[in-house]
Amino acid sequence: MLQPDLERLPTSDELPDSDDTPVDNEEQNFVPNVLLFLLEYIWKQRQDWFFAVDMGIYHTTGANPRVPVIPDAFLSLGVERRKGGKARKSYVMWEEANIPPILTLEVVSQTPGGEYEEKMEIYARLGVLYYVVYNPLFWQRDGQLPFAVYKLVNGTYELQIGEPFWMPEVGLGIGRCPLVDDPLGREVLSWYDAHGDRYISEAEAERQRAEAERQRAEAERQRAEAERQRAEAERQRAERLAERLRQLGEDI
């Protein structure tokens, strides 16, 4: 393999952000975007990460640095949240201090895309620590698992056990779950904490706060009603006592 001229590598402005190949199922865009929007919420105070959906990663480990590898999604740590304060067109590793993604995600489509062969080899060369393959529709066809996490160990990917799977180097776990309040009953991927608890979205958190407030208000209403009933019972007891005293006075 010819080594690229590192002094004459193209800039991100010269490189397309993807190969414009259309996806052939909805999950390829939907599932990664669910992860992105959730990460935007749980890491909203952090500025040292970048998560992309269907974006080209340009690197120098292949035959041509102008040919990217394009995961359905990837996560990089230790990089600017927005490169120079602007949105990235693509992820150009020689402009990112050669920091590879720490995680890549592939959602297997009807047309096999080399998820278990070519892309796995490329990500291993890049040094991607975790490679996640989500294959809910075609796993039996492919003789694979519907959800798999591979970790790079001594240059080779090893299948990991457990779901959700905790990734200490990322500080997140990943696993499958039903999409909350989805009328279509769809399954998605989600982030999890070290205890295996699913991170909730901003919308879910708002619903939980609203439900907690409703329950608090209901508890206050019930407390006020119990106090009213107690006061009413006390009033009736006092009236009965007064009536009894009047009756005793008449008898005397």
Look at residue 204 in the predicted model and tell me its pLDDT.
86
Helices (H), 109-201: 118-126, 139-142
Q: Under a CB-based contact definition with an 8 Å cutoff, are residues 79 and 99 in contact? A: yes
Look at residue 252 in the predicted model and tell me its pLDDT.
45
Backbone CA torsion sign across 161, 162, 168, 174: positive
Look at residue 177 in the predicted model and tell me its pLDDT.
96
Q: Taking the complete model, does pTM exceed 0.85, yes or no?
A: no
**Residues paired with residue 53 on neighbouring β-strands, in sequence order:** 73
Q: Under a CB-based contact definition with an 8 Å cutoff, are residues 130 and 102 in contact? A: yes
Q: Which residues, 6+ apart, have CB-to-CB distance to 89 below 8 Å?
A: 12, 13, 15, 16, 17
- C-alpha 181/C-alpha 113 separation (Å) is 32
Whose CA is closest to 54, among 27, 86, 14, 81?
Answer: 27
Q: Under a CB-based contact definition with an 8 Å cutoff, are residues 50 and 76 in contact? A: yes
38-72: b or e for each residue (b if 16 or more CB lie within 10 Å)? bbeebbeeeeebbbbbbbbbbbebbeebeebbbbb
What's at 143, amino acid-wise? G
Q: Under a CB-based contact definition with an 8 Å cutoff, are residues 121 and 111 in contact? A: no
Look at residue 169 in the predicted model and tell me its pLDDT.
98
**Residues paired with residue 83 on neighbouring β-strands, in sequence order:** 86
10 Å Cβ neighbour count for 105? 23
Would you give per-residue pLDDT tens digits along the chain (252 residues)? 445 555 667 776 766 655 555 545 567 889 999 999 999 999 999 999 999 999 999 999 988 999 999 999 999 999 999 999 999 999 999 999 999 999 999 999 888 889 999 999 999 999 999 999 999 999 999 999 999 999 999 999 999 999 999 999 999 999 999 998 889 999 999 999 999 999 998 888 888 788 778 888 888 888 888 889 898 888 989 989 888 888 887 554
Look at residue 4 in the predicted model and tell me its pLDDT.
58
Look at residue 1 in the predicted model and tell me its pLDDT.
47
Look at residue 14 in the predicted model and tell me its pLDDT.
64
